[in-house]
Amino acid sequence: MGDTADTAAAAGAADKKQDRTAAKLARQIGAFAKKHGGAEGQLAHIGQAGTRIVLVGTDGGWGDLVAPTFATAQLAAAKAGLTLHEEFDGEFAARVRTGPYEWTRMAGIQLGGREN
């Protein structure tokens, strides 16, 4: 009997931690959306590190967050009311606006130049 109670307690603690993490991510998603006039996203598995939440603002601004699990990322997106895309396809990717920082950083890395 004790093992069952211990397992249930551990599961309850894990659920609470997941809820807290998802709530924090949802607040960050909401802040991003507010700053960029709204946002949409896509979830991408990144192996043992978790799941990347890619955010694209209505104004073309972009960013990302990392959730420890896919389930946590889904919960955070739902709490934030984030519209999710299945893939980072052409239409969705075309909304991203890159600036001079991104272009110099990409060119610097690719061409052996100075990193920003």
- Cα(6)–Cα(14) distance, integer angstroms: 12
Per-residue confidence (pLDDT) for residue 107, from 0 to 100: 59
Q: DSSP state, 116?
A: -
Q: Residue 51 is which amino acid?
A: T
Per-residue confidence (pLDDT) for residue 7, from 0 to 100: 66
- For the chain (116 residues), the mean pLDDT of every run of 10, in chain order, is 60 82 97 96 94 95 94 97 93 86 64 54
CB-based burial label for 25 (10 Å; 0-12, 13-18, 19+): buried
Per-residue confidence (pLDDT) for residue 100, from 0 to 100: 78
Per-residue confidence (pLDDT) for residue 109, from 0 to 100: 56
H or E element, residue 4 = helix 2-35
Q: What is the pTM for the complete model shown?
A: 0.77
